[in-house]
Structure 1
Amino acid sequence: MSITKKTSLFAMLIMMMIVVAACGDKADNNAKSNDPAATKTTTGADAGTAKTDDTDKSGASSEDNKESDNSSKVELGTTQKGSYTNDYFGVSLKFPEAWEYQDAEGMNQLTSASSEAIAGDDEKKKKQMELSQTKTLNLLMASQYPLDGGQIGPSAMAIAEKVSLLQGIRTGEDYLKATKKFMEDSNFPYEYKDFTKETIGGKEMDLMQITTDAGDGSKITQEYYSTIIEGYAFNFIFTYLDADSKAEIDNIKKSVQFK
């Protein structure tokens, strides 16, 4: 499907910041007196580890300390032609070998670009997005077409964000509700279906499905899956446009395996 380059980039990149910005907004509202944990991702490689500098200035519980220790071992995972694996989150999947994919550095650059596009001149949004980026692991971005090619097709993403009880995020549904609120407050032109649950690769995940106009009268469907793993909201974001691209996504979902 050929649509304008601007529309294509917006539709593909906006997902990268909507999810993480939502939780940043939750943290800003619920934990203003605390310095949130910062997650630093490695860049320049599609396999590596990410270390966190978790410091709770008001005192951390033993459970929080355990999460901090675990976070020091977080892996960004390995993306290769047609596959992604991550031992820390215990997940693997396959995607078509002909698809484009981004390494961690490429995803970080795209995240920064989409952040600027979404925030515009809104300083509050800029701050919450900057906060969220420090806690976010960009794990996988695979798509049928290059992001700058003026075409939009099916895509698969994996993103994880460090969360805490202070943010009120205890389940994948909590995370998705914060995401939806951010979308609605930002007046994005989305239609929402009810939250549901679905088992993928043996793990039950919460699901939010949305649709939006592709720019030529057809619809883009995005499926947001979320669950909590080792103190992180682990998210899949799948995008498709029609029956053929949905079939591609269904095959990817069938390939997902959680240990």
Structure 2
Amino acid sequence: MSIPKKASFFAMLIMILLVAAACGNKADNNAKTNESVPTETTAGTDTDTAKTEDTENTESLEASSSESKVADNSKDVELGTTEQGSYNNDYFGVSLKFPEAWEFQDGDGMNELTSASSEAIAGDDETKKKQIELSQAKTLNLLMASQYPLDGGQVGPSAMAIAEKVSLLQGIRTGKDYLEATKKFMVDNQFPYEYKEFTTETIGGKEMDLMQITMDAGNGSTITQDYYSTIIEGYAFNFIFTYLDDKTKAEIDTIKKSVQFK
């Protein structure tokens, strides 16, 4: 495989790698939680209230009502608006700018890329296929902007935003939790990456956890990806920035400086 095609293919896999990674780890955490936590826990938290049948029924109804409200609120989630050179999302309260000459994809376009790369990632592994399908169902593809088309022969800097619905019961409480699940998936599947220590960075006024990975692209070239994650409205909200050298890093730094959280 030539270096340009290898790098371009790598860029196409960015999105599916992240969403599949956290899903697999969370599924394991969820299974352990179900084994160790009784189903009556929520209904029995108020120890000062008499354990009468009517009280339990009332609590059950209140829980159902609360779940319904969460479901109703989820309908208000939006993918945001992508225009030439800008992205804005009122639900997550975020906006950013990118070079007007860059290529960009809306949610539908990103979904197509996900479908195209999922087969390459999963192969004949049925368990991995199910993990990817489950994660896709909970994932919002928000933004993909890149200097070059992903299906072309060139690779350049890119910026991506995605969000995945998470739960405390799944063990995902912080952006770092989400990134650790991502790293575990990559390590378990022997992806040829090198990982730096997790850090935190403030972007647009919001503190986000950061995982940086690098990949040898051949001929002395290195691809670097910065994965940023934080929890917003019950979602793991993520930025993924890709660059190759000091020049392309400077372009990404300009995009990061344009990010604003409300």
CA apart distance, 1:17: 1.2
Map of 1:136 onto structure 2: 139
Q: Residues 192 and 63 of structure 1: is their aligned pair in 2 closer, same or farther, counting only changes over 3 Å?
A: farther
Tell me which of 223, 242, 245 is aligned to 1:242: 245
The share of aligned pairs that are identical, in percent, is: 76
**Quick one: distance in 1 between partners of 2:193 and 2:174?**
23
Q: Residues 195 and 134 of structure 1: is their aligned pair in 2 closer, same or farther, counting only changes over 3 Å?
A: same
CA apart distance, 1:4: 3.4
Map of 2:124 onto structure 1: 121
CA apart distance, 1:61: 7.5
Cα RMSD (Å) of the superposition? 1.9
Written as runs of structure 1 = structure 2, the 5 A alignment for 1:134-213 is 134-213=137-216
CA apart distance, 1:182: 0.3
**Quick one: distance in 2 between partners of 1:61 and 1:169?**
23
**Quick one: distance in 2 between partners of 1:66 and 1:255?**
34
Please say if residues 160 and 240 of structure 2, whose CA atoms lie closer than 8 Å, have aligned partners that are also in contact: yes
CA apart distance, 1:27: 3.0
CA apart distance, 1:64: 5.4
Which stretch of structure 1 is more off in the superposition, 108-117 or 87-96?
Answer: 108-117
Rg larger for:
2
Aligned residue type for 2:121: I
Aligned residue type for 2:171: G
Normalising by structure 1, we get a TM-score of: 0.85
Q: Residues 29 and 245 of structure 1: is their aligned pair in 2 closer, same or farther, counting only changes over 3 Å?
A: same
Aligned residue type for 2:250: A
Q: Deviations over 1:67-102 (max 9, x none)?
A: 433322100000000000000000000000000001
Please say if residues 25 and 185 of structure 2, whose CA atoms lie closer than 8 Å, have aligned partners that are also in contact: no
Q: Residues 255 and 117 of structure 1: is their aligned pair in 2 closer, same or farther, counting only changes over 3 Å?
A: same
Stretches of structure 2 lacking an aligned partner (at least 5 in a row): 35-61
Aligned residue type for 1:253: K
Written as runs of structure 1 = structure 2, the 5 A alignment for 1:45-84 is 66-84=69-87
Please say if residues 22 and 179 of structure 1, whose CA atoms lie closer than 8 Å, have aligned partners that are also in contact: yes
Q: Is 2:109 the partner of 1:110?
A: no
Map of 1:42 onto structure 2: none
SS of the equivalent of 2:239 reads strand
| Aligned residues between the structures | 233
Written as runs of structure 1 = structure 2, the 5 A alignment for 1:196-235 is 196-235=199-238
Q: Residues 188 and 64 of structure 1: is their aligned pair in 2 closer, same or farther, counting only changes over 3 Å?
A: farther
Aligned residue type for 1:93: L
Please say if residues 3 and 152 of structure 1, whose CA atoms lie closer than 8 Å, have aligned partners that are also in contact: no
Map of 1:9 onto structure 2: 8
Q: Residues 116 and 216 of structure 1: is their aligned pair in 2 closer, same or farther, counting only changes over 3 Å?
A: farther
Q: Deviations over 1:22-68 (max 9, x none)?
A: 2211232123498xxxxxxxxxxxxxxxxxxxxxxxx9687755543
SS of the equivalent of 2:211 reads strand
**Quick one: distance in 2 between partners of 1:139 and 1:212?**
25
Q: Which aligned runs of 4 or more in structure 1 are off by greater than 6 angstroms?
A: none
Map of 2:100 onto structure 1: 97
Please say if residues 3 and 151 of structure 1, whose CA atoms lie closer than 8 Å, have aligned partners that are also in contact: no
Stretches of structure 1 lacking an aligned partner (at least 5 in a row): 35-58
Normalising by structure 2, we get a TM-score of: 0.84
More helix by share: 2
